[in-house]
Structure 1
Amino acid sequence: MHKEKKITFLISTLSGGGAESVCVGIANIFAANGWNVDLVVLNLNNEAYLNRLSSKVKLVVLNVKRARYSGLSILKYIYKNKTSKVLVFNYELSVILTILRIIFRLRVKIISRNISTFSAKMIQFYQLSLWDRFIVAPMIKFFYHRVDYVINQSNGMRDDLVSIYPQLKSFTKVIFNPIPEQLVEYAKTNKLSNVKKENYLLCIGRLEKIKGFHHAIKAFSGIVEKYPYLRLKIVGKGSEEKRLKKIAIKYSIADKVDFEGFKKDIIPYYLYARVTILPSLYEGYPNVLIESISMNTPVIAFDCPSGPNEIIIDGRNGYLVKNQDIDDLRKKMLNFPYDKFNYNDLANSIKKNHIQTVFQQYEDLILSFK
């Protein structure tokens, strides 16, 4: 018999990102299955998913601005709650917790959820601020492999991680991301196959360079002559918004591209779109694709590292595009058979992402740590 089933989830914020969405979803399902769950966040600035959090999950807010200031607060939390297992959804926090364990000889198991293609993410750190370049990146590089276990969301992520840290080969596995609860519930109570699609293509995500929305705008400009009634809707916010609007103007399609901003409720956008496009430079395991498919909307994505080629089954739930090939993206958009895809094919293609399936894998792993 196991003792009380208790787990702590640690994440920086509950803002509107993929890691935050997955964190809340998995915390909720653990709580629903009888676990004592603490969700520890640094702060609630720009929170977007607080309303999704189950009342069965205990929310602990440390009230610190950044990960670099969180060490003492995390240490106090661990001592006060006699924490023994932590599932971490952030590289910096994984490293901080590892350093605390070394210095204070804490008896805590650290399971880190790898949030992206590790090698690509490290390159990005070196391109950010001086703090990220000279402090964060070297510390992650030196300490990250000292966690007890790493969960990846795709086989590509795992292979990339092991190529950098061969010593993690026996201490890492793949667990796919779950379909968010609110999308599952909507699909249960509504007949998605009867929804009449509207005349727009969809992009959803942070408006940052790595998401490649500039490629989507350029490709879209090449199909408006054949499909003058189509629009491109871009949902999200970020530092690239002004530049993306300028690109739309440059290609004379500013009147056909709608910048919708960040939306807490994304179901209607997925539901009525003809197709969702993901032109990322790199990914980990893009939630956008499984979310769109779960709402009966097929997808088009670059075959980038990593994730899309483990979700998309060509012709069954969407199409893969040659990586960073705008001509191929335009061709797929131009010739996309919008009404070809079968609802059952779409739904069956993401069975591995059902929340109970994902939960069971997480639970089995966590219970294996004594």
Structure 2
Amino acid sequence: METKTKTDIVFILPNLLPGGAERVFSFIAQNIDKTQFNATLLIIGFSKDASYDVEGINLVFLEKSRVLNGTIPLFKFLLKHKPDIVLSAVGHLNTIMAYMSLFFPKTKFIAREVTVLSVDVDFFKTNSFDPWSLIIKKRFHFFDKIICQSQDMQDDIIKNYTIKPEKIVVINNPITDHFQLKPEPPSEGVVQFITVGRLSKEKGYERLLKILSKVEFPFHYTIIGNGNQKEAVLSLVDEYNLTDKITHIHFTKEVSKYLAKSDFFLQGSYYEGFPNCLIESCSVGTPVIAFDVPGGTKEIIEDGVNGYLMANEADFLEALNHSKSWNPEAVRKSVYSKFNRTKIIQQYETLFNDLINA
């Protein structure tokens, strides 16, 4: 009988559209040690929507429009291939995987959460009764391990979902690309601001635009992203008479180029999981001005080193007006020392090996 030498891991995502979980999962799956692991990236959604290039691993698309529609094909896939480890991300998919794990007792199931859950629930809370809320809340008890992207996420799950600390591991997101350090920024001219991220309510674009409407020096603001708040955001651009100062880009694979041309990355979020866009901005040497909110932002930003963390809109505006010379090399070093790809991949590999050998 042939002895099995590698661990089979299936990484599962709802889709491969632009997003933090999609970028990180596709990166980890492609870069973990191929002498130890056989990786498969399984996507519930459509191959035509793939925004990231995936090479060197098994890539499977179920070609389904919704996670719920992919449940049976996904179950059949796991039944056929019997992986050692299944790693899923995003709340609704994690809920399905939690209860599916009951049918695969020999497989280790890992959930990777993407935000500070209790804050997210409160932010979008409605008065209507949600019969699925208890099922969703109990999902963590069925996983062998839960990956949190930040310390705030871990603390939130332990406190609000009664999960034991030893069941959780904090692994930050890695710097996924080889970002080129930009040259020293020019000392004068139109100040270039940028935000990269989903156009959704929790991202706080409305308060960024409100603040920018009060800026009195010449500036240009580039927004890269799409989402269900696109029309609302663009309407506010008109309302604040900022049309000639703002460029909106739906999607681009050249994000690093735009980051390098910018003087500051602006983050308006009310909460975050672990914002990839901030470490990417710092990776090219562009500092960040952000609000001090729940999530991983505070683990990335070192005040005065690679940006500022602001308590309110008045302080944020003051930071925009503050004159400081930033060293791109120092900004870059602040994140590479903590979130470099080698370090984060090793943390994932250690987690996988510990689970298999437990």
Query: TM above 0.5, one fold?
Result: yes
**Alpha-carbon shift at residue 233 of structure 1 (Å):** 1.1
Q: Which amino acid aligns with 2:212?
A: F
Give the equivalent residue in structure 2 for 1:77.
77
Distance 2:50 2:207 in 1: 27
Which amino acid is the alignment partner of residue 303 of structure 1? Answer: D
Of 13, 25, 28, the residue aligned with 2:30 is 28
The sequence identity of aligned pairs, in percent, is 29
1:69 positional shift: 2.2
- SS in structure 2 of the partner of residue 368 of structure 1: helix
**Aligned partners of 1:264 and 1:33: how far apart in 2?**
30
- Letter paired with 1:342: N
For residue 296 of structure 1, what is the aligned residue in structure 2?
Answer: 285
Q: Is 1:232 matched with 2:231?
A: no
TM-score, length-scaled by structure 1: 0.88
Whether 2:157 is the aligned partner of 1:143: answer: no
| Aligned mates of 1:306, 1:100 — CA distance in 2 | 29
Could you tell me how far 1:315 is from its partner in structure 2?
0.6
**Corresponding residue to 1:208 among 191, 200, 212:** 200
Query: Counterparts of 2:278 and 2:269 in 1: how far apart (Å)?
Result: 12
Equivalent position to 1:10, from 2, 12, 20: 12
The residue type equivalent to 2:330 in the other structure is: D
Following TM superposition, by how much is the alpha carbon of 1:244 offset from its aligned partner in structure 2, in angstroms? 1.7
Q: CA offsets per residue over residues 191-234 of structure 1, 9 Å max, x none?
A: 523565973100111111110011111111111x2x12x11111
- 1:168–1:34 distance in 2 versus 1, CA, 3 Å: same
Structure 2 residue aligned with 1:347, among 332, 339, 347?
Answer: 332
Q: 1:116-155 residue pairs with structure 2 within 5 A?
A: 116-123=115-122, 126-127=125-126, 134=130, 136-155=132-151
Distance 1:151 1:93 in 2: 14
| Aligned CA-pair RMSD | 2.2
Matches of 2:62 and 2:22 in 1, distance apart? Answer: 16
- Is the CA contact (8 Å cut-off) linking 1:309 and 1:320 kept in structure 2? yes
2:346 corresponds to 1:360: yes
C-alpha offsets along residues 70-92 of structure 1, whole Å, 9 cap, x if unaligned?
22112111111111201111222
User: Does 2:306 match 1:317?
Assistant: yes
Given that residues 293 and 317 in structure 1 are in contact (C-alpha distance below 8 angstroms), is that contact kept between their aligned partners in structure 2?
yes
- Which residue is equivalent to 2:21? 19
Q: Which amino acid is 2:327 matched to?
A: N
Query: What is aligned with 1:99?
Result: 99
Unaligned runs of 5+ in 2: none
Query: Of 175, 182, 186, which aligns to 1:192?
Result: 182
Counterpart of 2:228 in 1: which secondary structure?
A: coil
Partner of 1:156: 152
Contact 2:200-2:229 within 8 A present in 1 as well? yes
Q: Identify the structure with the greater helix proportion.
A: 1
1:39 matches 2:41? yes
Deviations 1:298-320 (A, max 9, x none): 00110011111111111100000
Structure 1: gaps (5+ residues): none
> So what's the TM-score if we normalise by structure 2?
0.91
Counting matched residue pairs gives: 351
